[in-house]
Every structure is written in structure tokens, then in C-alpha cells.
Amino acid sequence: MIDGGSILHKLGGKNMEKLAEQIARWNDENKFEKCVDAIEAVPEAERGYELTLLLGRAYSNIAVLGPHCERPDGDADKVDCELLDKAIGIFESIRAEGEDKPFWNSRMAYALWMSDGREAEALKYAERWLELAPGDENAKKLIESIREFLADDGEDAPALETYGDADWNAVQDHIAKYFGDYDEVMHEVASEGIHLDVCVIPPREEHNYYTLVTLGMGAHKMNVPQELADQKLERVELLINLPADWKLTKEAMRDDKWMWPVHLLRWTARYPLRDRDTWLGWGHTIDSGDESKPFNEETKLCGAMLLSPGVFGEDSYVCKLADGGEVNFYQLIPLYKEEIDYKLEHGVDELLEKCSDEQLEVIDPKRLNIVTDADKIAHDDALME
């Protein structure tokens, strides 16, 4: 065992960046136990995403390869399953921040691949890794290995929940009719549970901003409480409005500064799949899943609320399906922590009374806080009157 505390002292206390660099060197040198000792010397609350991810990698490497890589070929019969489960649990603890990042998905894929009976799960993460890092040869090799194994084992990847052709066309037509025409779609290369695309509607004369709408979330029927069963609330699609100058090029999408609203849409859309007892409806709020950590360092917004997309008219709220079913459309409104707390204590209506529709219509990462900046908002409203 090494003295992790002395390492932190030597590196300047909280200089996590230098510590991460040192851990990377130890990893390359197959000194996995040193990685674990140094990271665990940092209080858990101070580790943050990167160190937590590296801790999971270290435990995963020890479980598969041994403390000093004495099993370089990763003999499956000698894998420490208990330690591997611990690594997966560590990765799960940072899912909210990692699930749209290549490295996190790669570590989940490798850990699940080496876990007995979890190969199909591993494939999902490997395919997601390749989607986020197109052309990555390691991702391609892992996907090929898993697929060969599943084929030999007579097992297929889990089936996705998808719309039938008629419902798919109905939802597409509804989006184009009420929210706007679109030529660009952010397709999923790898999907989990549902195939979720994001339609990109560009700024137009009547709405000078981007509107991003999910297509595929409503294929899954949520577990709505029995007392609400007759209201046809089990199917949902989501949308979000972004300023006209928001960067949505492929290059910009590699930067979380611009990508986080897309992450938010996708993460929220799969919320009812992660917890089958959860459903999403009007007025519901979610947080970032990481102790109210902001979505990005450029903003303090850290949660969201679902509201009807009022600016597009009441007819936009619901898409009728041929079998009598309905798909409900909700607009995701990013919120600050204080706003979420206020809503939970006082209700949606009281929160909305404190602001104008214009303040919430389009995402502004730097907008005034409805709760803590109430005086400034009232002053601005008075000037406008």
C-alpha cells in the first residue's frame, strides 16, 4: 500500500489534474493498486467525475488482469467477479455525467463483457461508444467480439421498442405540422431500450430559434398510475428550444457546451426505461442525477420541468394514433436548483406565476433565476410596462 495522502500533499493538496496525470502513468505501467490507493485517499465527495471514473477503471483492471497485470490475456476463469461488480457500481454512480461520453461507455462495455452472462448489455455500451467516437478501432473490435460470442451462443441483442409504421408516420407528420419542417435528424447509431432520434427544426419566421424534438420515446408505454389510465398519458415525446445562434454542427457537438441540451433530451427520454415504475407528465421535474450538478460549466441550470409547448398552440400537445392511442408532447424547461426546490414546495402554478412565458420559452444558460433574482425580474417587467 502507498501513502495516498502524501501523494496529494506532494502534488499540492487538491491539484486533481496532476493526480489524474500520475494515475494515468501508473495505469500505463500496470500499477493498478497504486491507482486505487491514491484515488481512495481523496475524500469521496471531492473526487469528482474523472477520478471516480479512473477508480472504476483501476478496480476493473485488477479484477480482470490482476493487481500488476499478471494475467495480461484476461483469463475469464480467473476474473474476480466481486471486484468487477464493484467497478461497475462505481461507473453506475457517475452514469448521469458519463453516459454520453466515449470513455465512460468503453469502461462499462469492457466491464460487462468480462462479467458472466452480461454480454448483451456490454454490446449496448460498445455500440454507444462507437457512436460517440466514430472510427474508434478498439470499439469496433469489441463490438465484433461480442457479436461473434452472442451468435455462437445463440443469443441476439435485446429487441428495441419501436413505433409501428403507421404510428411512426403519424408522429413524424405531427412534428412537421405543429413544430416545423426539418431535414436534419440526429440518429442513434446504438440504442438501448428504444431507438431515439432527435429532429432538428431550424429557426423559422414564426419562431426564431431551433426546436429539437425526440422521435422514438413514445414507442415505450410508461407505467402510469392506474387512476390515470383513462387519460392516455403513457406515451410521450419531448422538445426543447435553443437560441438561433446555438451551434449544432458536428464539430460543435463534440463540445458539451453546445451538446448538453441534446444529452438532457436523451437522458430524460430514457428515464422511464431506467426505472420502470417511473412516468413523466406535465409539471414533473427531474434533476441532473448528480446531486444537482449543473449540466455544464457554462451554466448553473441543473434540472428540468415538463410543460405543455404552449407557444406552438394547444393542437400541438397531443398526436392521435390510429388505434386511439395518444402521444403527448412536453417541452423541457431547464431549471436552477432553487427553482426546483420552490416548485416542490409550492407547486408548478406558483412557480410559473413568478415569471413570464418568454423567460422559459427558449433556453438561456445565463438567464435570471426565478427565485433568487425575483426582484430583478420584477424591475425588468416594470420597465417593459
189: confidence class by pLDDT, cuts 50, 70, 90: low
Domains of the chain (ranges, CATH numbers)? 4-152 (1.25.40.10), 165-384 (no CATH)
Q: What is the mean pLDDT of residues 370-385?
A: 71
Which residues does residue 185 pair with via DSSP β-bridges, in sequence order? 199
CA dihedral 379, 382, 384, 385 (to 10 degrees): 180
What is the Cα–Cα distance from 110 to 15, expressed in whole angstroms? Answer: 29
Q: Which range is least confidently modeled, 51-55, 133-137, 157-161, 246-250?
A: 157-161
Averaged confidence pLDDT in the chain: 87
Q: Output DSSP code: residue 159.
A: P
Strand 326-335 vs strand 236-243: parallel, antiparallel, or unpaired?
parallel
Which residues does residue 332 pair with via DSSP β-bridges, in sequence order? 306
153: confidence class by pLDDT, cuts 50, 70, 90: low
Would you state the pLDDT for residue 10?
42
Highest mean pLDDT among 24-38, 129-143, 212-226, 256-270: 212-226
Q: What is the mean pLDDT of residues 33-55?
A: 90
Count how many residues are written for the chain.
385
Residue 271's alpha-carbon distances to 94, 120, 207, 265, 349, in angstroms, are 15, 20, 29, 10, 24
Residue 240 · residue 246 · CB < 8 Å: no
Chain position carrying cell 420597465: 383
Residue 358's alpha-carbon distances to 25, 241, 284, in angstroms, are 51, 12, 20
The DSSP-derived string for 199-212 is EEEPP-SSS-EEEE
SS3 assignment, position 370: coil
Q: Which three cell numbers stand for residue 76?
A: 475469464
Would you state the pLDDT for residue 359?
86
- Checking if the pLDDT of 3 tops 70, the result is no
Nearest to 14 by CA among 54, 43, 37: 43
- Checking if the pLDDT of 32 tops 50, the result is yes
